[in-house]
Structure 1
Amino acid sequence: MRVVVVGAGYAGMSAANRLARKVPSAEITVINPRPDFVERVRLHQQIAGTGAAATPLASMLPAGVTSRVGTVDRIGDGAVVLDDGERIDFDHAILAVGSTALPMPGTVPVGTWEGAEQARGALAALPAGSTVTVVGGGPTGIETAAEVAGARPDVRVRLVGSSVAGSFSHGARQRVHASLRQLRVDVVDDDVTRVAEGSGRSDGVVRLRSGAAFPSDLTLWAIVAGIPDLAARSGLAVNAEGRAVVDEFLRSVTDERVFVVGDCAAVPGARLSCQSSAPQGAHAANNLARIVAGRRPEPYAVRYVGLGVSLGRKDAVVQFTRRDDTLRRAYIAGGTAGVVKEIASRGAKLGARTGIGG
């Protein structure tokens, strides 16, 4: 059986490694634009120079799995076609291309590897007294602002968002704001409408919906919302957001040979996170193993336990949720939460590398 996995994030790696364990005879090929597995939950550390987010695929995959560096142009009719025209046939495919950022002109996206590397270089080049603006009030924006403020106390950091930490309960949200104040991060409750170029090479002016404006030497776009158009371009059914529509078994409703997992899959009740992607990848591999064995696949069920955000290297807030991702009142914060968040991040990588869990 020939299986092609498109994408080597949490979903793709979990699927490839789980399937290698479940079906040792399978010929598995992983195709990814770069030769590394990128921990998106550590990109804020990559930017600030406090940690590394990339690990070579060679150390993440077993010897029997082939990895290819390349970009897939389309998928369908039992084959994936790379942008150089090469065709790789499959019996089954697992589409796991994740999500991306659609940055406003004049900003640097921090939710992608390429953007994080660009931001890292730009931040390192900033002199003391500069201003860094982070756009986005979700976990990506909060973690980026906090990490930069902790690593570069000599620069001013602003976090702009209409609802900073709005996905947390009231108590947890207040705790996040308190930590940001302690880090001297200025929180601006507003939306950015434009980033105009300034007189220098990197400086600019951030304009807000309220009409206010302020200078910014480096503006980081911390909103992850875009979906690669590979599924749509390949003729697979997608929803209004561009996510591939799947059945209860995580198979494309257009082509049952193609499983779709992670951020690029329209799974009801799932949010963009490794807490969603890794279990979906593992479940797709389990279902493919069941199909190979002549058994019926099993429906996928969304299950959550919490929502965490790092606030520098020694602080965090972990919000507990119900299985359906609705919020509980309970949360933990401080050093203990920081340890829990780090354990969860390491566990996500371990699960992706081993295929265990999910």
Structure 2
Amino acid sequence: MKVVVVGAGYAGAFAANRVAKRVKGAEVTVVNERPEFVERIRLHQQVAGTAVAATPLTSMLRAGIVSRTGTVERIGDGAVILDDGESIGFDHLFLAVGSTVRPLPGTVPVGTWEGAVRARAALAALAAGSTVTVVGGGATGIETATEVAGARPDLRVRLVAAAVADCLSGRARQRVLAALDRLGVDVVEDGVAEAAVGAVRLRSGREVPSDLTLWAIVAGVPELAARSGLEVDAGGRVVVDEFLRSVSDPRIFAIGDCAAVPGARFGCQTAAPQAGAAVDALARLAEGRAPEPYALHYVARCVSLGGKDAVAQFTQRDDTLRDSHIKGRTAVLFKKIVYTGTKYGTRKAVGA
């Protein structure tokens, strides 16, 4: 059985390793745009210069898995076609291209590896007293703003968003707002209409100084599925059945951010469980058994607040927020466990 995995983030790398463990005789090929495995949940640390968020992809894959660096132009009938014209055939394919960013011109995106590398270099070149504007009030924006403020207290850091920390609620959200204030981050509840060298213009019409503007909004998915003729939803995510198979082609499993699963959100808490469920479905089919449907199971929403603080608010299985949360050193330790556990689990394809 020839299995191709397109994309090697949390979902793709996990799926490739699990196929190699669970599906006897499978020949696994991973196609990824870069030769590194990127820990996306640590990109804010990459930006601030407090950690490196990439590892050689080959070190993350089990022996025997073929790794190809390249861009998939489209998925055809039983084959993927690369941008150089080469074709790789498959019996089954796991589409794991994740989500993407659509930055405003004049800003540097921090939700991709290439953008984070650019942002790190630009940030390192800023002189004391310079102003950094972070656009986005979700976890990516909060983590970027607080990590930069903690690592570079000589800079002025501003966070601009229509709403800040609305991914959390109650005391957990108040903890985030208090941390931003403690770190000296200027919170501006407005949107950005235009960015240029030295300034940004807000939607309200006000112009504020900005020596570096970082785009911290992750939205949308790559166009590969739509370009390949697979059925997608309004956001471009692959429409799947209860086993995470494309409704257009049951040979194709869509996993992670690019799969249109009701109630699912972008993040590693979605990626690995979906990858595991999809591979298990394939393994059961290969063994002549009926597959089991995928079910959402979330645990918490975690937000780092610089290197010495964090908050984690627990959720119901369906991601509904609960009142309980942890904070401070306990939450920092929890977040470190998430970092290391997610990477370890991806490499080992835990539970297989």
* TM bracket, shorter-chain basis: over 0.9
Structure 1 runs not aligned, ≥5 long: 198-202
Letter in 2 for 1:30: V
1:286 maps onto 2:280 in alignment: yes
Q: 1:357 to 1:205 in 2, by over 3 A?
A: farther
- Counterpart of 1:248 in structure 2 is 242
Distance 1:250 1:2 in 2: 19
Structure 2 residue matching 1:15: 3-state secondary structure:
helix
State the Cα deviation string for residues 9-38 of structure 1 (Å, max 9, x = none): 000011111111102410000000111110
Shift in Å at residue 215 of structure 1?
A: 0.8
Which whole-Å CA distance do the structure 2 matches of 1:21 and 1:152 have between them? 44
Distance 2:138 2:121 in 1: 23
**Cα distance in structure 2, aligned partners of 1:216 and 1:170:** 31
Superposed counterparts of 1:163-242, under 5 Å:
163-195=163-195, 197=196, 203-242=197-236
CA distance in structure 1 between the aligned counterparts of 2:230 and 2:344, rounded to whole angstroms: 31
Instruction: Tell me the amino acid that sits aligned with residue 211 of structure 2.
Output: D
Give aligned-pair identity as a percent. 68
Match of 1:123 in 2: 123
Q: What corresponds to 2:328 in structure 1?
A: 334
Whether 1:343 aligns to 2:337 is yes
Give the superposed CA RMSD: 0.9
What SS class does the counterpart of residue 226 from structure 2 fall into?
helix
Output the amino acid matched with 1:205: A
| Residue of structure 1 in register with 2:34 after alignment | 34
Matches of 2:170 and 2:187, distance apart in 1: 17
- 2:100 aligns with 100
TM-score when scaled to structure 1?
0.97
Instruction: Tell me the CA shift for residue 226 of structure 1.
Output: 2.3
Q: Secondary structure at the match of 1:97?
A: coil
Deviation at 1:193, TM superposition (A): 1.3
Which residue is equivalent to 1:200?
A: none
Q: Counterpart of 2:79?
A: 79
Is the partner of 1:159 in helix, strand or coil? strand
Letter aligned with residue 113 of structure 2: W
Residue 12 of structure 1: SS of its match in structure 2? helix
1:39, 1:54 within 8 Å by CA — same for their partners in 2? yes
Q: Distance in 2 between matches of 1:38 and 1:24?
A: 28
Q: Which residue in the other structure is 1:143 paired with? A: 143
Q: Deviations over 1:266-325 (max 9, x none)?
A: 011100000001111111111111111111111100110100000111110001111010
Kindly tell me the number of residue pairs found equivalent between the two proteins: 352
| Letter in structure 1 aligned against 2:213 | T
Give 5+ residue unaligned stretches, structure 2: none
**Alpha-carbon distance between aligned partners in 1 of 2:189 and 2:170, rounded to the nearest angstrom:** 16
* 1:357 Cα deviation after fit: 4.3
